[in-house]
Amino acid sequence: MSDGAKLVLASGSPRRIELLQQAGIEPCRILPADVDETPAKNEIPRSLAKRLSREKAERAAAIMAEDKTAAGAFILAADTAVAVGRRILPKATISDEAVDCLQLLSGRSHRVYTGVCVITPSGKMRQKLVETRVRFKRLSRREIDRYVASGEWRGKAGGYAIQGLAGSWVVKLVGSYTNVVGLPLYETTGLLAGDGFDVHAGWNAGA
């Protein structure tokens, strides 16, 4: 087993960092993996999330292969997609995208998929796809405009952050809440622990 093993997070997402820290795991290095996130032709949401998590992990692994200080490190990558049916919503970068997303999500259910990929120190790859169903209340144009003015939507899949103001819109959630935030903790820690990463090593750090 790998007591005190190092973890490289192939993501610069503050939310994923915070979620890992919530679970008592402190990455030894943050290594955002730059990959093209454009969906392939006819690619379905669940396939996109799984493919991008794999590509991010592989990109980080290629970089870390040249870094001797990272020997023995696990690599963790994830990608989250928000979808209505087969339609994949963008990671909103401009206000018009956020408005379009929120109008589409208003009063209906959508699905959030996160692909999680772990590459072990021995080079073995393990993946998991997690799905959560979320239903929003019907949103007025005023609510949408106020939310867009808050700026919380920037860079978020589907144009919202459930851990922020938009959490008050959730009528029903079936599945993992942390998945919607950006990293399903139960499944992620399970993948890591299954390959010998001690997910509890930092729990008594303050003792």
pLDDT, tens digit, 9 for 90 and up, residues 182-196: 999 999 999 999 989
* Contact indicator for 96, 65 with CB cutoff of 8 Å: no
- Closest-CA residue to 151 (of 136, 169, 166): 166
Domain ranges of the chain: 7-194
Is 96 labeled as catalytic in the residue annotation? Answer: no
Amino acid identity, residue 30?
Answer: I
Distance, CA of 136 to CA of 110 (rounded, Å): 8
Which pLDDT belongs to residue 70? Answer: 72
Distance, CA of 75 to CA of 77 (rounded, Å): 7
* List of residues 6+ apart from 72 with CB closer than 8 A: 2, 5, 6, 121
Active-site pick, 34, 67, 79, 198: 79
The class that CATH gives domain 7-194 is: alpha beta
pTM of the model: 0.92
pLDDT by 10-residue block (mean), the chain, 207 residues: 74 94 94 90 96 96 82 92 96 96 97 97 95 98 97 95 97 98 97 93 71
